[in-house]
Amino acid sequence: MKSLGPVLTVVAALLALWYAAAVVMNAQWTYDQAERAGTEVTLSELLADTMTQRRPKLPAPHQVLSELKKTVIDTKVTSKRSLVYQASITLGATLTGFLTGTLLGIALAVAVVRSRVMELSVTPWAIISQTIPIVALAPMIVVLSSRIGIEGRLIPKTVIAAYLSYFPVFVSMVKGLRSPDAMQLDLLRTYGAAPGQVFRKLRLPASLPYFFAAMKISMAASLVGVIVAELPTGAVQGLGSRLLIGSQNGQPLMIWAALVVASALGAGLILMVGLLERLLGRMMGVRA
Amino acid sequence: MTWLLAALLIWPLAWGLNGVLVRRAPARMARVAVPLIFGLTVVFVWEALVRGFGIEPVILPAPSKVAQTFADNRSILWLDFVQTGLKGALAGWVIGAMAAVAAALLIDRSPFLTRGLLPIGNLVAVLPIVGIAPILVSWFGFDWQSKAAVVVAMVFFPILVNTVAGLAAADRMQRDLMRTYAAGWGATLWKLRLPAAMPFIFNGLKIGTTLALIGAIVAEYFGSKDVGMGFRITTAAGRLGADMVWAEIWVAALAGSVFYGLVALVERWATFWHPSQRG
């Protein structure tokens, strides 16, 4: 709680900066309008106008808020114009992709920890796979899957999100599963524990902190993957498509609103992972 | 049919060979040979399966066909790489990295700012920042400047957060030692804290390399000139030219790996003293 004051100060400063920037960036349009009409603008008129333009270069915070109210609260949840509806689609794909990726990451990590051949074969390629900007594949995967005859958009999105989110889990789980030191391993050996028991009772619990740190990164990556996968032409649902439509129709407010909802979604998901971590930690007797 | 059989045969063969290599060959050799054999096997099985099942090139082109396309279009691919990889991603990465380190140094001078900005920086670092691409494209136009701007926004926060954490890495004893030498803020920064922060900064820089390419390519989806990797991928995907898309993906993979590798090399040179580099 000690940092609440500084954080609020910084947020207030950022908001002030945002308003100032909105005035500066939108002023040009106001001047152009006035020149066309042959009138002069006073400072107060300028300020008022830059806050209320319909297609501002940089919308002021309250404009974004009112757009949010319009699309989140005032629109029915089932309507396509509702950002809640669009966000729920993005959320569904994010979670399925995240789960698939996490399971894949765990499986790979377990295989790598148990087999030296696996380790040497797979690890370098896993790293290389992440230097490929997977988003480059997004339009291709979408086109491909519709070509093969998969109608819904869920599968291509899931593939991309899983691809992005498996890697952090894989890396951290390898590290985590290897984290018990020789002493602990020796102790279990004196107990006559079988390899399976060592795995279940020592390696797995020891890897949990690593696992949760990775889950947060994976969750963020998964959301980015889904949003990007929603961009390619033809995407009709999800927050990503709202970004694209807003960009094509020149409606900055729509883009900003979608952006805010996407950010809130991301922050919420990370928060959930954090809560889960604390809950599981308490069940396993970790002292906070 | 022979292709399918070959695919079925080569897999256990290569796996067995790798098993032998891991157990018998010198560790150094195994480290290079094993992943190489694995990679070649995957490519071979891919080729064999595509031929064996007669998969349409529209769905999945054989590696040989992609290589052919790659060789035929080298000049186009090179121009795309210059536009997206060098002008967009690299320029943005350099600007973003410098801005982030500078901002970290500024923040670091004030404990108040550190406490205020760090939670926000940590939050923003996990948000889907690619989303601002349409906004930046509408501000900076269709050429590479808007792509570089997206890249700046994407790499800024990870590097900032890492640098601030790194500047705090030098411990109290070491700082006290610097003080007994009567070293000022500048000397302490230059001789102790920046070197101690290097492993963290490089961590941020490496995360940034992948993000930079992603940002530059995605930004092109929102409007670009008629050159660039993102542009080529969308148009080729629209024409169902899968081989061209895959050739472009190879370029991206190559660029990404080289970029990452270069940063890792510089890291090894700059942080040779760190335990993770002494291995």
Q: Residue A139 has what pLDDT?
A: 65
| CA torsion through residues B262, B263, B267, B269, sign | positive
Q: How many CA atoms lie within 13 A of B128 on its CB side?
A: 34
Spatial distance between the Cα atoms of A272 and A266, rounded to a whole number of angstroms: 10
Token pair listed for B157: 């926060």
DSSP assignment of B26-88: -HHHHHHHHHHHHHHHHHHHHHHHHHHHT--TTT---HHHHHHHHHHTHHHHHHHIIIIIIII
For residues B213 and A133, the answer to whether their CB atoms sit within 8 Å is yes
End-to-end CA distance of chain A: 16
**A11 vs B213: CB contact, 8 Å cut-off?**
no
**B113 vs A263: CB contact, 8 Å cut-off?**
no
Spatial distance between the Cα atoms of A231 and A153, rounded to a whole number of angstroms: 11
CA of B248: which chain A residue's CA is closest? A136
The radius of gyration of chain A from alpha carbons, rounded to an integer in Å, stands at: 25
User: Of A113, A105, A80, which Cα lies nearest the Cα of A236?
Assistant: A80
Of residues B215 and A80, more confidently modeled: B215
For residues A202 and A184, the answer to whether their CB atoms sit within 8 Å is yes
Residues of B in contact with A147 (CB under 8 A): 58-59, 240
Residues of B in contact with A232 (CB under 8 A): 221, 234, 237
What is the percentage of chain B residues whose pLDDT exceeds 90? Answer: 8
Q: Which residues of B112-144 are buried (b: 16+ CB within 10 A; e: fewer)?
A: ebbbbbbeebebbbbbbbbbbbbbbbbebebeb
| A-B contacts (CB, under 8 Å) | 163
For residues B230 and B224, the answer to whether their CB atoms sit within 8 Å is yes
User: Of A130, A125, A136, which Cα lies nearest the Cα of B40?
Assistant: A125
Q: Average the pLDDT over A119-141 and give the result.
A: 73
**A120 vs B30: CB contact, 8 Å cut-off?**
yes
CATH top class, domain B70-278: mainly alpha
Query: What is the residue extent of each domain of chain B?
Result: 2-55, 70-278
Spatial distance between the Cα atoms of B162 and B72, rounded to a whole number of angstroms: 42
Residues of B in contact with A121 (CB under 8 A): 18, 34-35, 37-38
Spatial distance between the Cα atoms of A132 and B279, rounded to a whole number of angstroms: 27
Q: Residue B52 has what pLDDT?
A: 80
Residue B136: what residue type? L
User: Assign residue A233 a region: left if phi > 0, alpha if psi is -120 to 50, beta otherwise?
Assistant: beta
End-to-end CA distance of chain B: 47
Best mutation target among B11, B13, B20, B34 (most A Cβ atoms within 10 Å) is B34
Of residues A195 and A76, more confidently modeled: A195
Residues of A in contact with B208 (CB under 8 A): none
Q: Is the pLDDT of residue A5 over 70?
A: yes
Token pair listed for A262: 């996407």
**ipTM for the assembly:** 0.75
| CA torsion through residues A119, B22, A128, B195, sign | positive
CA distance to partner chain B, nearest, from residue A233 (Å): 9
Q: Average the pLDDT over B61-74 and give the result.
A: 86
For residues B101 and B159, the answer to whether their CB atoms sit within 8 Å is yes
CA distances from B210 to A63, A171, B94, B101, B274 (A): 34, 16, 13, 18, 23
The set of residues, in sequence order, having a beta carbon less than 8 Å from that of A190 and lying 6+ positions away, is none
**A140 vs B113: CB contact, 8 Å cut-off?**
no
Q: Does domain A83-283 have CATH number 3.40.190.80?
A: no
Q: Residue B172 has what pLDDT?
A: 86
Q: Residue A252 has what pLDDT?
A: 81
Residues of A in contact with B234 (CB under 8 A): 139, 232-233
Lowest mean pLDDT across A138-152, A190-204, B198-212: A138-152
Q: Is the pLDDT of residue B180 over 90?
A: yes
CA distance to partner chain A, nearest, from residue B182 (Å): 32
Residue B121: what residue type? G
Spatial distance between the Cα atoms of B157 and B99, rounded to a whole number of angstroms: 10
Does B242 reach chain A within 8 Å, measured CB to CB? yes
The radius of gyration of chain B from alpha carbons, rounded to an integer in Å, stands at: 24
DSSP assignment of B203-216: HHHHHHHHHHHHHH
Residues 168-187 of B with CB under 8 A from A: none
Spatial distance between the Cα atoms of A288 and B39, rounded to a whole number of angstroms: 45
Residues of B in contact with A137 (CB under 8 A): 249
For residues A133 and B254, the answer to whether their CB atoms sit within 8 Å is no
pTM of the model as a whole: 0.80
Q: Average the pLDDT over A144-164 and give the result.
A: 76
Comparing CB atoms, the residue among B22, B127, B223 nearest residue A263 is B127
For residues B87 and B144, the answer to whether their CB atoms sit within 8 Å is yes
Q: Is the pLDDT of residue A81 over 90?
A: no
Among all chains, which residue has been given the structure tokens 């499986």? Answer: A107
The set of residues, in sequence order, having a beta carbon less than 8 Å from that of B36 and lying 6+ positions away, is none
**A10 vs B237: CB contact, 8 Å cut-off?**
no
Residue B205: what residue type? L
Q: Average the pLDDT over B166-182 and give the result.
A: 87
**B135 vs A116: CB contact, 8 Å cut-off?**
no
Residues of B in contact with A216 (CB under 8 A): 126
Q: Is the pLDDT of residue B85 over 60?
A: yes
Does B245 reach chain A within 8 Å, measured CB to CB? yes
CA distance to partner chain B, nearest, from residue A113 (Å): 15
Q: Residue A135 has what pLDDT?
A: 65
Q: Is the pLDDT of residue B115 over 90?
A: no
CA of B249: which chain A residue's CA is closest? A136
Q: What is the pLDDT of residues A20-63, one digit of tens each?
A: 887 777 777 777 777 777 777 777 777 777 777 777 778 878 88
Does B163 reach chain A within 8 Å, measured CB to CB? no
Spatial distance between the Cα atoms of A92 and A99, rounded to a whole number of angstroms: 11
Q: Is the pLDDT of residue A255 over 80?
A: yes
| CA torsion through residues B202, B204, B205, B210, sign | positive
Residues of A in contact with B107 (CB under 8 A): none
Q: Residue A136 has what pLDDT?
A: 61
Q: Average the pLDDT over A94-103 and give the result.
A: 92
CA of A9: which chain B residue's CA is closest? B116
**B34 vs A144: CB contact, 8 Å cut-off?**
no
Does B214 reach chain A within 8 Å, measured CB to CB? yes
